[in-house]
Structure 1
Amino acid sequence: MTDEHTADRDELALGRIETEVALLMRFGEATRRGTGTTEHRLLDRAAYVILRHLASVGPQNVSALAAKLNLDGSTVTRQVSAMQRDGLIARTPDPTDGRGTVISPTPAGLQRMAAVQAARTRLYGDILAAWSPDDRDSLAALLHRLNQALESRSRPR
């Protein structure tokens, strides 16, 4: 195989990847909006992502949360304030900085997050029912690699 052939093949693959990721985002959003079950609507997307992260790593201050999610601090502050009003998170004094607070999920927040996660897992189980367990494992591994690469790319350099 020549270097030119390899470059052409790689360019074609990258174009297909771009198309498939664009379609994935569009169909994913359409699926989320079109799903009729209540569980899918218990949390908006931002609250779900924040609660999943906090459940995974534990309490964090807004700055750390914003950095992890690659969002502006003021955006996260607004989202967290709305979540606090809804009883999904609690703020407590930051043990490392007496002036700040840390955010942690409430039992109600964790319960809603678990309901949404279970509903999404069932949905993907239905969508991927015809796929073999090996294909599902491969998809999970490749999506994880893609998300890691996207996360690394989005960090400030």
Structure 2
Amino acid sequence: MSNPAVEPDAPGATENSVDAALRNVENQMSLFWRRGRSISQQLSRQVHPDMEPAAYGLLTVIRGEGPIRLTELASCIGVGKPSVSRQIAFLESIGLVSKEADPLDGRAQTIRLTPKGEEKMHQVQDARREVFRERLGEWPVEELQTLATYMAKLNATYERDGFPRDETK
């Protein structure tokens, strides 16, 4: 049996220990992603009972980026324009976003949060931060910083490989 304490790049690491470490990372990431999807579902329902998690993700991008074109928004999250367009139509119908002429190109439109959308996102994101504080508040600051460093490294790897940008600014 391989030694789980052996670092994959350390002298004495075997292919089996690397495979075991990668399987462990995969299992932990899968669990983390499932929990993340569940949290996104809960957060989207706090904004509006009929909102899909994908629409909540769009709101976080719009909030972080400011006024943004539909094509750029679709690119940010790595999905097609039709999906984003459908979600934006829903968000517009419930008064959370508005469209306006792009000042750089009058033929195009930019999407922005309405004051109602900004207020809803502020409330939900404050609640989300409080959940993090409840879950991770007992961790030593050094461990939180280390976790953030490794997560940033992982996200940079995925972004480098063509995955969408950060949606949580």
Q: Normalising by structure 1, report the TM-score.
A: 0.83
CA distance in 1, matches of 2:85, 2:113: 15
- Aligned residue in 2 for 1:91: 99
Q: Would the aligned equivalents of 1:40 and 1:120 in 2 still touch at CA under 8 Å?
A: no
Where 1:154 maps in the other structure, the secondary structure is coil
CA distance in 1, matches of 2:74, 2:44: 26
- Greater share of helix residues, 1 or 2? 1
Query: Residue 149 of structure 1: CA displacement?
Result: 2.1
The answer on 1:138 being equivalent to 2:143 is no
Q: How far does the alpha carbon of each residue in 1:49-108 deviate from its partner, in whole angstroms, 9 at most, with x for none?
A: 222222222211100000011011100001111111111111001223322211111111
Go from structure 1 to structure 2 and tell me whether the alpha carbon gap of 1:109 and 1:31 turns closer, same or farther (over 3 Å shift).
closer
Q: Would the aligned equivalents of 1:39 and 1:119 in 2 still touch at CA under 8 Å?
A: no
AA at the equivalent of 1:59: P
The answer on 1:10 being equivalent to 2:15 is no
Go from structure 1 to structure 2 and tell me whether the alpha carbon gap of 1:41 and 1:19 turns closer, same or farther (over 3 Å shift).
same
CA distance in 2, matches of 1:52, 1:30: 16
Q: Would the aligned equivalents of 1:39 and 1:115 in 2 still touch at CA under 8 Å?
A: no
- Aligned residue in 2 for 1:117: 125
- Aligned residue in 2 for 1:58: 66
Q: Normalising by structure 2, report the TM-score.
A: 0.77
Query: Residue 39 of structure 1: CA displacement?
Result: 8.8
Go from structure 1 to structure 2 and tell me whether the alpha carbon gap of 1:72 and 1:31 turns closer, same or farther (over 3 Å shift).
closer
TM alignment of 1:101-116, pairs within 5 A: 101-116=109-124
Go from structure 1 to structure 2 and tell me whether the alpha carbon gap of 1:155 and 1:128 turns closer, same or farther (over 3 Å shift).
closer
Query: Residue 115 of structure 1: CA displacement?
Result: 1.1
Gaps of 5+ in 2: 1-10, 165-169
CA distance in 2, matches of 1:40, 1:127: 21
CA distance in 1, matches of 2:54, 2:17: 37
Query: Residue 112 of structure 1: CA displacement?
Result: 0.9
Gaps of 5+ in 1: none
CA distance in 2, matches of 1:6, 1:26: 30
AA at the equivalent of 2:138: A
Question: Cα RMSD over matched residues?
Answer: 2.4
